Amino acid sequence: MYSTLFMVMFLFLKRPRYLGKCPKITPIRNEEQWQNAVKKYAKKGAKRDDSVLTFKDTNMQFVEFYRDNEELSTDTRALWAYFAEKYSTNKFKFYSVDVNKVKGIYDDIDVNVAPESNEFPTLIIFEDGVLAQRYPCEDPNTYLGKQLKKWKRKAFEKFFQFHNRWFDTKDSQPEEESQEGKNEIKKKQKSSKKSD
C-alpha cells in the first residue's frame, strides 16, 4: 500500500522549487526583449578594447538559459536571486530565459537545449552585447570548475567576478539619466557662450 502511494506521489507531485520574488531578475520571453536586453549593445561591443581592465563603461548582462523542468535549474533559482539582489546595478543586469518557451535567440551562442540532458543550465555573461564568459566552462576539471559543479556560492562569485563588476559599476547612472545629464551640460555650455 505504501509503495503504491509513493509511486503515485512520485509520478504526480512536482519537486519543490524556489518561488521567492526577485524583481532584479528579468525574464526574457521573446525576441524583442532579447534585443532590448542584450543585443542593442552589440555595436559597442564590436568596437571595445579588451585590454581595458575595468568594467566601468561596460554594459553587462548575466543570463541564465534554463529548462523549467530541469532539476538543477529549480535548485539554483535561490542562488541567482541572491546574486541579483547583491550585485545588480544600472550597468550590470540579470536575466533568465526559459528555452522551452523562447526559441531562436540563442542559436549562435551554443546553449544546451536538449530536453533529455541533465546538464547544468547555461550561464553567460555578456559585455556590451558580446559573450564574455560562460558556464559550463571550457575546462571544468580545474579546482574552480570542481567547486562550481558543487554549486558553491563563493566559487560562482569568483568565476564570474561578481564583486569586481558590481564595484566598477555601482555608481553608474541609468542610461536615460546620463543622457539627460549630457543634454543639460550642453544647454549650460550654450547659455554661457551666449552670455560671453
Q: What is the pLDDT of residues 56-95, one digit of tens each?
A: 778 899 998 887 665 555 567 788 888 999 999 989 999 9
Q: Are 127 and 48 in contact (CB under 8 A)?
A: yes
Q: Which residues of 13-30 are buried (b: 16+ CB within 10 A; e: fewer)?
A: eeeeeeeeebebbbebee
- Retrieve residue 174's grid coordinates: 541609468
Q: What is the C-alpha separation between 39 and 109, in angstroms, rounded?
A: 12
- Determine the longest span between alpha carbons in the chain, in angstroms: 94
10 Å CB burial of residue 148 (0-12, 13-18, 19+) is buried
Predicted pLDDT of residue 94: 94
Domain boundaries 20-45+55-180, CATH class? alpha beta
In the block, which residue shows the cell 542610461?
175
What's the mean per-residue pLDDT of the chain? Answer: 73
Predicted pLDDT of residue 93: 93
- 60 has which bridge partners? 92, 127
- pLDDT, tens digit, 9 for 90 and up, residues 131-187: 888 887 665 556 666 666 677 788 888 888 898 888 888 876 555 444 444 454 455
Least confident of 14-18, 52-56, 103-107, 124-128: 14-18
Q: Are 66 and 73 in contact (CB under 8 A)?
A: yes
Does pTM surpass 0.95? no
Domain ranges (residues) in the chain: 20-45+55-180
The residue with greater pLDDT, 49 or 65, is 65
- Retrieve residue 86's grid coordinates: 547583491
Q: What value does the mean pLDDT take over residues 106-124? A: 70
